[in-house]
Each structure stands twice: as C-alpha cells, then as structure tokens.
A and B are shown apart, each in its own frame.
Chain A
C-alpha cells in the first residue's frame, strides 16, 4: 500500500510540475490542481497508513491519526477557493488581453502569434 500511495503522489507531482511549466493558463491551473491533489494525499499519508482502525483513542492497540485528516480538509477547502480565484483572474486577463500566456509578454510580440 505504501508503494501504491507513494507512486501515486510521485506521478501526480510529476504531471503537475510538467503542466505548470507549460506557461499557458489552462495547463498551469490544471497542473496546480494536480499538485494540490498530490499534496493532499501526502498530508493524509503523513499520519501513517492504516486500514480499518478508528480515528480515536480507544482500548484497542491501534488507531489511525485523526489530525492529518483535519489538515487535509483544511487544505482541500483552501486549495479549492484559491483555484476558483485564479480561474476568475486568469479568465479576466485572457478576455482583456486576448492572450493566455502566464509569463510576461515580449514587447514586440503581439497576441496574434499565440496560436
């Protein structure tokens, strides 16, 4: 299970980083979303992976750590809100400038060569 989760985090991170480096708003936002999925799973796994045990202290010998689950919830809410904000700002910038590049435009390059 550790291998599965670890490789899932790795693949998500790699794909996310690749997309972020595309420097167009849509792939970059997709990439950032993938990165947040990766970090959510990473946070979840930081309390150790256990199956079928309660998230509270009981008389039983094993329990799963409840704190990372709370952290992940917070992280999910925040990243969701942030993604919504960046989508709106990026949409505004695209509609205003007719160009969806994330990096600074070259002084002479026009929006025409964007395609």
Chain B
C-alpha cells in the first residue's frame, strides 16, 4: 500500500494552517509556500496519473480499516486525471493572483486557496459517499472565504446568495445520504455498487428517491438548469482568480455524476430506469441553450463569461447523459477543455476590468495593454464558443459523433449547433464592443491612464491558452486516454474488487459477512425494503 495517494489531500491540509500560523504577515513567504505547494501537487498528481495510466486502481485505506467499514481513498484513471487537471489549473490561477496582486487585497487568500485545493482533491479521490459530502463541505467553506475575498457590499451580497444556496444543497445531500444508508446499510461506493444491483425493481421506491435526490445535489454543483441560479452572480462578483479556480468546481459536480451514475446507479439498472435518459438529458439540453442565450443577452462581460460556464456545463452534461462509453469519453475531453477556457476567460475579464471603470458592454476608452488582452480574449472566445481550430471544436465534434447513434440525435445536434451559433454571436458582439469600438471613444481629458497589467498576469493567461493549444495538438492521445477511462467506468469490476477485496483491519470479519451476504442477500434487501 502506497501512501502517495493521500498526499494531494494531506499536503494542502498541512500547508494552509502553516501559512496562517507561521507566515501570517509575510505575503512574500506565503506566495513562495503556495507556489511550491502547488508545484509539489502537480508532481504528485502527475506521478499518480502515471501510476494509474495503465488501468491500475490503487487503494489507500485510512487507518488500515478494510473497505466497507473504513474510509478509502481510490486513485483510478478518472480521479487521477481530475486531480492533475486541478493542480495544473491551480498553478496558473495562483500565478495570476500573484501577478495581479489580488492576493494582497484581503487576508488569508493563500491559506483558503490551499484548503480549497484540499477539498477538491479529496472530492475527486474519495471512495466513500459520506466522505464525498465532507470534502464538498471543505471545498465549499473555503470557497465562501475566497468568494468574499477583498470584501465590498456587492460581493458580500452575492456571497450570501452563494452560501445559502449551497447550504440548502448540503442539506439535500444529507437527505440523499440518509435515504441511501437506510435502504442499503452502507455508504462505500464500491459496496453500494454491489448492493444496489441486488435490489428488487418492484421494491425500489426508496432507492429511486435516493438516486434522484443525489442527482439533484450534483446538478446544483454542476449548475444544471433549473438549479443554476447561484452561479451567474457569484461567479461574476467573485474575485477573478477565484472565479477562475471555481471553473473546476462545477466539474466536481460533473465528476460526481459520472462516478456515481456509472458505478452505483448504472444506466442498465432497472430500479432507477428512466432517470438518465428522461430527466438528465432534457435538462442538459436546456442548460446548454440557456447558458448560450445568456452569453448573448449579458450586459456585462463577467456575466457573459459566467453564462458561458453554464453553457459549457450543459454541453458536458449532454455528453454525459448519453451514458455510452463514447459520450463519457467526449465529456471528459470537453471537461478539460472547458476548465481551461473558462478560467482563461475569467482572468481576461479581470485584465479588461483593470483599465475600465466597469465591465458594461459599452464602448469606452481604450484600456492599457488592450492589444494583447484583445488577442487573448479572441483566442479564449474561439475556444469557448467551439470554433476551429481549438479544442472546443474538437470536443464538440466528439460529442456530436457520440450522439450520432442515439435516438435523440436530432435534438442533440440541433441544440449543440444552434447554441454554438448563439455563443459565437454573443462573444463576437462582446469582443467587438469592448475592444474595437474603444478606438472610436476618445479618453476623457485628465483621466489618468491605468498602468497595464503585470507581465506575470499575461504569463498566467498565456499559459492557460497554451494548455488549450496543447490539448488540441495532442487531441489524439487525449481522446484515446479518455476512451480508456470511459471503458473503465463501464466495466467497474476492477474498481469494486480492489476496494472490497484488499485486506485490512476487520477483513476477517468482512469475509464472514460477505459469505453471509451471498447466502442471505435477498433476505436483507427485502427486510430493508419492508420497513
């Protein structure tokens, strides 16, 4: 058993209190620790991804307790890929927040940032549903602090909405977990996969309710219409680097849906039939359209980017809710793309904000460093709208291709292509108003010219754009890797047996109980259902 798997969670968990306690008043030391920590995280995540890349599922039992009794951390291809994605995104976001001096505008930015990373990493790695809840709370409570970083009444108001919405989401999550525990008597994901499969479809009302509740919780996190209302104002009002980091948070919801609804509630499971196709797919199509219409309708640049996040999550969910290996593979490719594209757009919005009085989509005097900012916006907008040659186009192509065989191919193609057109119009209108029409407005007399943003800020944004380009150039290996992940997800035997059959403390007892389970499994399920 290797201890490396737990490190992406433990390292930020140690660094954050260290930053608060030892480097409280030294922003320079905080920055060094933060960047070094993130670089170490990238190294660890890369190592884990390398280890998992041949399909090995590695398991870490906390306290050495065997699986259904203790909490386990599992590193398979999907979770290590998401961990690596988070670590790489965090590096560029951190560079930007140092370059733009956002981290100096309030206290404890670096500590909260590390706690946020801890929560996200934990959510990706854990193999236990209640533990997933705990890590959701860790990442949320850190995000509350980050969201209101630097203060201001407007931001605090948006923060109240954000916190309350997520508190309600957490309550719903607990209701879902309670129902699942009452029905199955376990919260370990692998154990749940075994037990839910044994359910009699005729007595499945309890587990159906639990599955729907859980889907709603993850849909809140993934900002799927009609549960997206928290996203536009909180992402628009949050400090730009924080909003860029939040680009991965909606993906946590998407990851949870992929994980839970392929492992525990797979689409072929009769007890919850209809949930994937009848409910998830239409909402995904609607959120795709709503997001992109929001891009066209937005009056401010930051809202525009926030709505494009909703649209891209809709795109991801359309692909996920096909629930075919091709669909999941396309969704994973698009998740990587949309994380970097959304983060880059939020950071560029901040570059624009630095030179303007506000972010309204009206012609205003040219901003300092406008040419470079405009070029970056152009590339990022192309990526987000899904035009060739960048990875958004390839991702969209993969999604269209995955939907080609499906019964609702017409709807998917119409929504994806139509919303792309709307997004192109929305982005080009915004870009031409903000950057081109600025030439026709003379700067006010006596207005001081803001200094152009720091080079490091441009390096961070440029790095994200370069990653998008790399994601396009290496699309071949990337898609074959995501295809391998999708095939793992639809054949979860390796995952389940690794988690349940690895010996640990209490595993003698576990062997006994498993023999009992095999003999009496029908009996227990009926007894549970009868209550």
Contacts and interface: CB of A to CB of B under 8 A. Distances in A.
Contacts of B170: 78-79, 82
A15 B314 CA distance: 33
Given A46-B179, A85-B144, A102-B160, A74 B134 contact: yes
Interface centre among B134, B153, B156, B157 (most CB of A within 10 A): B157
B181 A90 contact: no
> How large, as a class, is the contact surface on chain A?
35 or more
A89 B144 contact: yes
Interface in A5-58: 20, 25, 28-29, 32, 35-36, 39-40, 42-43, 45-48
A70 B313 CA distance: 35
A19 B239 CA distance: 31
A35 to B, nearest CB: 5
Nearest to B162: A89
A75 B174 contact: yes
Nearest to A41: B178
Interface string B239-276: 00000000000000000000000000000000000000
Contact of A20 (B140, B151, B168): B168
B178 A46 contact: yes
Nearest to B130: A71
A112 interface: no
A102 B181 contact: no
Interface in B146-170: 148, 151-153, 156-157, 159-161, 163-164, 167-168, 170
Contact of A43 (B137, B152, B174, B233): B174
A29 B170 CA distance: 14
B167 A89 contact: no
Interface in B333-356: none
B11 interface: no
Nearest to A28: B164
B102 interface: no
Contacts of A82: 137, 140-141, 163, 167, 170
A90 B163 CA distance: 9
A93 B158 CA distance: 9
B531 interface: yes
Interface string B177-188: 111011001000
Contact of B181 (A32, A68, A83): A68
A86 B157 contact: no
B178 A39 contact: yes
Interface in B25-59: none
A13 to B, nearest CB: 9
B65 interface: no
Nearest to B182: A46
Given A68-B181, A75-B174, A86 B160 contact: yes
Nearest to A104: B233
B160 A32 contact: no
B211 to A, nearest CB: 16
Contacts of A102: 160-161, 164
A86 B163 contact: yes
Contact of B153 (A35, A71, A96): A96
B378 interface: no
A93 B134 contact: no
B476 to A, nearest CB: 44
Q: Which 7 residue pairs are nearest across A and B when measured between Cβ atoms?
A: A96-B153, A93-B156, A46-B182, A46-B178, A39-B174, A97-B153, A43-B178
